[in-house]
Amino acid sequence: MSSAVSSGPAVASSEAGTMEAGLGNMWWLWLVTGTCWIIAALVILQFDHASVTTVGIIIGCMFLFAGVQQMILAFIAERLRWLFALFGALFLIAGVICFIRPENTFAGMADILGFLFLTVGIWWTISAFLQRDVNELWWLSLIAGVLMIALAFWTSGQFFIQKAYMLLVFAGVWALMHGFTDIVRAFQVRRVSRLL
């Protein structure tokens, strides 16, 4: 009995080490996805028709991933499964529509860019106040939220072509940062797996 009890933590730690080592062997996936994001950023920042199509496809991918995530939540949730399934279906349909007409997706996103910035700014401002007790740098989120709200009002007053260029710049910079982050994460995972 005592040997079974004492071997429990050892078995659990060896299983965790095996799982971390398995994830460490997949470090190259972050490298590949990071490279893909950087290529997408370079295409977007060309400011041509391919940029518009690329942004529409990226938005479609985001809808599809959100739809799959909601469907998974519908299967594992104990309550409100129908709500997760409903939103999952809506996200999946939106993703397919984005793939069919990526240019129209881009135009729609450019039209509502001010509203999106306003939503993000309000969320950042609220989360800054919610994190005030646990985060010493909460004021950075507050400043970013206020600046995003100001940018939202400025963007709302612009013509469509200026909104479209702003969307391209933000999407390109976001994809570039995402790519660099994934590449750095790949080498961090590789280093940690070698230490294990």
pLDDT digits (tens, 9 = 90+) for 161-177: 888 888 888 888 888 88
117 burial type by CB count under 10 A (0-12 exposed, 13-18 middle, 19+ buried): buried
Between the alpha carbon of residue 126 and those of residues 8, 64, 121, 146, the distances in Å are 44, 28, 9, 10
Indicate if the pLDDT at residue 35 is higher than 60: yes
Predicted pLDDT of residue 95: 92
Predicted TM-score of the model (pTM)? 0.65
Taking only the tens place, the pLDDT of each residue in 39-98 is 988 888 888 888 889 999 999 998 998 899 889 888 988 888 899 899 999 999 999 999
> Do residues 138 and 128 make contact, with C-beta atoms less than 8 angstroms apart?
yes
Indicate if the pLDDT at residue 16 is higher than 50: no
Indicate if the pLDDT at residue 103 is higher than 50: yes
